[in-house]
């Protein structure tokens, strides 16, 4: 717990449970404890109804708030790049490092406006026991979903992920009247690279390019491998001018990339086509306009960017 008079602490849930075991075993079940057992059973049943991490943690927060007035919950799991905060994270807090069968399940913090006594901490830790197995299942589900939406070579999103992202972003653009743009990128003379240096060098070039693209974009932007040596970038809340600036920055970064095959430096370049979403336009139409702009860039000599016509 964090308070003016107490040092911060991070508690492994298993260690915390063992620490309180002797005290718990010496107690007899009172009427209140029977009621708490019923709440735990209700919590366990509710946590079995979802594999979505955000909903699972929302259920947990709602239920444990019946034990003690909690004002916030924060959770992060670096392995699946997941973070969630419910409520305003201030006041007293207790932190738990969660694990199950040797698997790290992330870091959980619970916040309260008032000091949380040991008796309530014991109940919270019993409630956390109910969370561990459903949380592990939800993390495994998230990992499986993430794997199914990633290109195995480059780590970029695959075409299925791109279709989902475009559906979401076009809906947001329509609903909030905010711009959204895409960039279609094609590596220049990629077949020649494969023919001269081999497919392993080609694969390495694609990996290096995908990494470079992620480094050049904001966290809210997305990178997808469209197929072969083509990538599609989805730029949230970005109009044509912003997309053109990003595309040119990426073109220059690819051209300046230090790509080595053995001890030989190989120059790479890319052509890019940009298109900004128009109201009521389909995904296919948007992609087609970006592809036409890309075709124009390659037709005019490659290693350049072009904007799509409306």
The full set of domains in the chain, from first to last, is 10-148 (3.30.450.40), 159-307 (3.30.70.270)
Separation of alpha carbons 64 and 129, rounded Å = 12
Q: Active-site positions?
A: 229
Q: Give the pLDDT of the chain (310 residues) as one tens digit per residue.
A: 344 444 444 455 555 554 544 444 444 334 345 567 888 888 999 999 999 999 999 999 998 888 778 899 999 999 888 999 999 888 888 999 999 888 999 999 999 988 888 888 888 899 999 999 999 999 999 999 888 999 999 999 999 999 999 999 999 999 889 999 999 999 999 999 999 999 999 999 999 999 999 999 998 899 999 999 999 999 999 999 999 999 999 999 999 999 999 999 999 999 999 999 998 899 999 999 999 999 999 999 999 999 998 7
**pTM of the predicted protein model:** 0.68
End-to-end alpha-carbon separation of the chain, Å?
58
Separation of alpha carbons 274 and 295, rounded Å = 11
Separation of alpha carbons 54 and 75, rounded Å = 10
The crossing angle, in degrees rounded to 10, of helices 53-64 and 118-148 is 170
Separation of alpha carbons 277 and 288, rounded Å = 11
Per DSSP, what are the bridge partners of residue 235? Answer: 181
């Amino acid at each position: 717990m964090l308070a003016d008079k107490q040092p911060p602490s991070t508690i492994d849930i298993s260690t915390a449970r063992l620490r309180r075991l002797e005290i718990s075993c010496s107690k007899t079940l009172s009427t209140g404890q029977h009621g708490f057992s019923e709440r735990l059973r209700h919590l366990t049943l509710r946590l079995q109804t979802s594999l979505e991490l955000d909903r699972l943690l929302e259920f947990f927060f709602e239920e444990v708030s019946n034990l003690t007035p909690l004002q916030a919950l924060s959770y992060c799991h670096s392995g699946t790049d997941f973070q969630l905060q419910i409520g305003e994270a201030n006041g007293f807090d207790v932190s738990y490092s969660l694990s199950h069968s040797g698997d790290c399940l992330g870091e959980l913090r619970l916040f309260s406006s008032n000091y949380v006594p040991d008796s309530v901490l014991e109940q919270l830790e019993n409630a956390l026991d109910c969370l561990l197995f459903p949380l592990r299942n939800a993390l495994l589900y998230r990992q499986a979903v993430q794997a199914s939406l990633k290109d195995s070579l480059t780590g970029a999103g695959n075409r299925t992920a791109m279709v989902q992202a475009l559906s979401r972003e076009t809906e947001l653009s329509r609903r909030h009247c905010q711009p959204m743009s895409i960039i279609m990128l094609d590596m220049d003379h990629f077949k020649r690279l494969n023919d001269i240096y081999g497919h392993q060098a080609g694969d390495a070039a694609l990996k290096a390019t995908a990494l470079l693209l992620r480094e050049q974009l904001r966290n809210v932007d997305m990178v997808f491998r469209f197929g072969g040596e083509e990538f599609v970038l989805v730029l949230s809340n970005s109009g044509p001018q912003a997309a053109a600036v990003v595309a040119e920055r990426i073109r220059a970064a690819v051209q300046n990339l230090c790509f080595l095959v053995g001890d030989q430096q190989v120059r790479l370049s890319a052509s890019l086509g940009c298109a900004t979403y128009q109201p009521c336009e389909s995904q296919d139409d948007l992609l087609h306009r970006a592809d036409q702009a890309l075709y124009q860039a390659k037709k005019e000599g490659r290693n350049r960017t072009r904007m799509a016509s409306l």
